[in-house]
Chain A
Amino acid sequence: MQEIIKNLNQELRKGTLVLAVLSQLKEKHYGYSLVESLNKKGLRIEQNTLYPLLRRLDKQGLLESTWEVVEPRPRKYYQLNKIGKEVLIELSKTYKNNYQTIISLLKEES
């Protein structure tokens, strides 16, 4: 049963991670600064998950990525582009609606 709960928890988390990452990329971030930003706000995210996710969002055309040489080393910075911003707005709306629905459903249960 623990295994099932673990898997379902992972599935639940997967979708929300994209939203969380997009929400932070309204401002320019590089990988580690994004991890820290999310950590500070209470969202622990594995680097294994985050870095490929950034790459995927970039490929999907939601982000603008640039290499910048800032001491001590070059870093790849990511930020939402126009499409990314629109996607974030739409996803936020959907999430909020779903959240309200689920909360009311769970209230009915209890």
Chain B
Amino acid sequence: MILLERYLLQVERYLPFKERKDTIEELRGLILDQVDSLVSTGESEEKAVYKVLLDLGEPKEVANGYHEIRPIISKELEPILMLVLKIVSISLPLTILFAESLSFVFNTSNFTFMDFLLNIAYNIPSALYALVMALGTVFIIFYLIERFAQPKFEFNEKIFNPDHLPDIPIKVFKISLGESIFVILITVLALYLINYQQGLISVYYDDVKIPLLNSNFDIILPFINIGWLTAIILHIYYLFSRTRNIPSKTIETILGIYGGILLIVLATSNILNEVVIDGYNLTVLPNILKIVFIIVGCSSIVAKIIEYVKMFINLERINELDKN
């Protein structure tokens, strides 16, 4: 019977943790039943165990039978995963190469076209490395959604009725694929710039380069990141849903107001360096930028609120949508 225990130990190694004890107990009983049956026909116990185990086969194969075969990503999530992977695969390397090229152009005084091309070539490995990291991260995020948010993607098993198909979104709820992709691309690029290439945001004059943002900006940076990451998530959701709805419009409005407030905070905080070129104080430049920030910030807040209120004025159509 030592052979049986050795066999069961090997099976146990490959079994799912949760069910090990129960499965092994059951398997032991099943094997011993067969051994008993063979022994009753005159076989020795030792030979009987050997024969039964031989018949059962490789321990790993036996254990594999108990594993539930479940796809890592379900059919419902797969199309959106593929779309996100495609967007990341195209946009990320291009964004990195574009940003690095910009950095090269602004930081190098004399260069030939060949130098420029060589710089791009040097940056290809790091772009590919970033791509692999990003694809892995996206996959992990989707795996986590699949594993822990699965119920949200389960469709109710209702009898299909064409009358219940959602109405074509009204104008305010319409969103094009291009719009979402554009927003995602621009936001990724902006995130990359302000987080990793902050030095590029400078005043350039001949060979002089004066960074515009000072260390105070780093205090506000996490808040900007939160806003932009939320915008990216929202537009990834739009890629999936292909329409806005009241909750997503609410998030958009909150994001717009949040962005507006951030712009006003940026304008009223001491985040910009003094610009002095050739002895001339050009602080007027950052000041103009501050005024622009305030105007854009206030307009954004007002525009978003008006847009949101206008949406509710058209209650009749919204109610129709709710019915669907």
Contacts and interface: CB of A to CB of B under 8 A. Distances in A.
Chain A CB within 10 Å — which of B23, B29, B61 has the most? B29
A42 interface: no
A48 B23 CA distance: 13
Given A48-B56, A48-B57, A31 B65 contact: no
A55 B66 contact: yes
Interface stretch (B31-39, B122-130, B197-205): B31-39
Contacts, number: 47
B55 interface: yes
A55 B62 CA distance: 13
B29 A31 contact: yes
Contacts of B34: 32, 47
Given A48-B62, A52-B65, A76 B55 contact: no
B65 A48 contact: yes
Interface size class of A (residues with CB under 8 A): 10 to 19
Interface string A59-92: 1000000000000111110000000000000000
B226 interface: no
Contacts of A59: 68
Contacts of A32: 30, 33-34, 37
Interface of B is mostly: helix
B272 to A, nearest CB: 63
Interface size class of B (residues with CB under 8 A): 20 to 34
B25 A72 contact: no
A51 interface: yes
A76 B26 contact: yes
A49 interface: yes
Given A47-B55, A48-B56, A76 B29 contact: yes
7 contacts: A30-B29, A31-B30, A32-B30, A32-B37, A51-B66, A55-B23, A75-B33
Top 4 nearest A-B pairs (CB, nearest first) are A52-B65, A32-B33, A31-B30, A76-B26
